[in-house]
């Protein structure tokens, strides 16, 4: 099986930052440019987030949505992983949330009603396949016949697909054990599984606590992109999305300028020790938020195609069909 996704270069990451900066007309990034009135008909914003949602967690802590969406009540809802978040988004329990590359693919294949509206730059060092330090698994080929814990439909699921392929194995050569992160860690520590595919901050926490060895990170295997998705109603409210992305980008700028305080705030929010949070931050590059570029849509299509080829989703999908069109138009104009 060939590798369905090429590795991003450092130049590409810098190009993403430049593209977001150039789209100032889409998402004003300075606090002085924040909206002064509530976007039309946005009576409440319900935000879904995960323990690893660094920008969203700090956005909540700093309260910057109050500046960009004055007068709009915001309700925050935490989920253990992306698939659960997108299920809530699809049934109308939340309006907006951030996830990795795989959850939207599974959601779209299941006919869920949601839209890609934005993204952050790639984070290829922020997920890994972990094994026991003294175990027999030394190479990816050694995964053959092994039980591997992974959250189904998560970004780690695609990492595992790629790792299996790089090891020269077929997907049928391993036994995936589908578990949420907390249950997966317990199974890994008890020896009920041989390996564990996971993302930050769970990956960093496991590293810091010891008893693990990295078999591979996602670098060279996946881009490990972060996407923001919205309900149909919110996707129709362009001023609100501009305000949300401006708030997220301002949050990231604050993190870059106040890393020590940012680490403490995130540690307090997530219940993690500072060593773990600093490990997470060390793997995280500047992450302004902007609309999906055509190149990013094409990358995400490769993720979808890989899952379809393995029959891990019920049918092939076309990612572009659920990408927010105003953002696409702006990104395409900038690319020209």
Of 196, 217, 238, the residue that ends a domain is: 217
Q: pTM for this one?
A: 0.84
143 is in which domain, residue-wise?
A: 127-217
Are residues 119 and 140 located together in one domain of the fold?
no
Task: Report the C-alpha gap between 274 and 271 in whole angstroms.
Answer: 9
Q: In sequence order, which residues have a C-beta less than 8 Å from that of residue 39 and are 6 or more positions away?
A: 69, 72, 237, 239, 240, 243
Residue 145 burial by Cβ neighbours in a 10 Å radius (0-12, 13-18, 19+): exposed
Distance between CA atoms of 81 and 202, rounded to whole angstroms?
11
Number of domains comprising the chain = 2
Mean confidence (pLDDT) of the chain:
87
Are the beta carbons of 331 and 293 closer than 8 angstroms? yes
CB–CB of 193/147 below 8 Å?
A: yes
Same domain, 234 and 115: yes
With left for phi above 0 and alpha for psi between -120 and 50, is residue 60 left, alpha or beta?
A: alpha
Residues 233 and 287 in one domain: yes
Domain holding 213: CATH number? 3.40.190.10
Strands (DSSP E) contained in 34-188 are: 45-50, 74-79, 96-99, 115-119, 127-131, 147-150, 175-178
Q: Give domain status of residue 265, yes or no.
A: yes
Residues β-bridged to residue 197: 129
Residue 31 pLDDT: 32
Q: What is the pLDDT of residues 10-58, one digit of tens each?
A: 444 444 444 444 343 343 333 333 333 444 568 899 999 988 889 999 9
Domain contains 5: no
In this structure, what are the phi and psi dihedrals at residue 110, rounded to the nearest 5 degrees? -90, 5
Are residues 177 and 75 part of one domain?
no
pLDDT tens-digit series, residues 279-296: 999 998 888 999 999 999
Q: Are residues 181 and 313 in the same domain?
A: no
Q: Are residues 211 and 135 part of one domain?
A: yes
């Amino acid at each position: 099986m060939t590798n369905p996704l090429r590795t991003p270069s450092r130049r590409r990451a810098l190009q993403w930052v430049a593209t977001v900066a150039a789209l100032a007309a889409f998402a004003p990034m300075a606090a002085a440019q924040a909206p002064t009135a509530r976007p039309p008909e946005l009576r409440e914003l319900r935000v879904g987030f995960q323990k690893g949602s660094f920008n969203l967690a700090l956005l909540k802590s700093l309260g910057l949505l109050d500046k960009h969406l004055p007068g709009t009540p915001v309700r925050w809802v935490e989920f253990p992983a992306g698939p659960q978040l997108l299920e809530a988004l699809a049934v109308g329990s939340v309006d907006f949330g951030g996830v990795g590359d795989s959850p939207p693919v599974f959601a779209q294949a299941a006919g869920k009603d949601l839209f890609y509206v934005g993204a952050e730059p790639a984070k290829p060092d922020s997920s890994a396949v972990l094994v026991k330090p003294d175990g027999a698994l030394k190479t990816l080929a050694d995964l053959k016949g092994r039980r591997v814990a992974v959250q189904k439909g998560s970004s780690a699921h695609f990492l595992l697909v790629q790792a299996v392929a790089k090891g020269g194995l077929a997907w049928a050569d391993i036994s995936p054990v589908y578990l949420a992160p907390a249950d997966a860690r317990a199974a890994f520590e008890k020896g009920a599984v041989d390996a564990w595919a996971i993302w930050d901050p769970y990956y960093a926490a496991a590293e810091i606590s010891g008893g693990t060895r990295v078999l591979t990170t996602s670098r060279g295997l996946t881009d490990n992109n972060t996407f923001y998705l919205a309900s149909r109603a919110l996707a129709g409210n362009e001023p609100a999305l501009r305000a949300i992305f401006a708030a997220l980008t301002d949050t990231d700028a604050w993190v870059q300028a106040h890393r020590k305080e940012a680490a403490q705030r995130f540690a307090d929010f997530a219940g993690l020790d500072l060593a773990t949070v600093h490990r997470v931050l060390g793997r995280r590059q500047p992450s302004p938020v902007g609309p999906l570029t055509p190149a990013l849509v094409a990358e995400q299509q490769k993720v979808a195609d890989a899952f379809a080829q393995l029959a891990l989703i019920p049918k092939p999908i076309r990612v572009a069909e659920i990408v927010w069109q105003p953002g696409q138009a702006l990104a395409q104009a900038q690319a020209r």
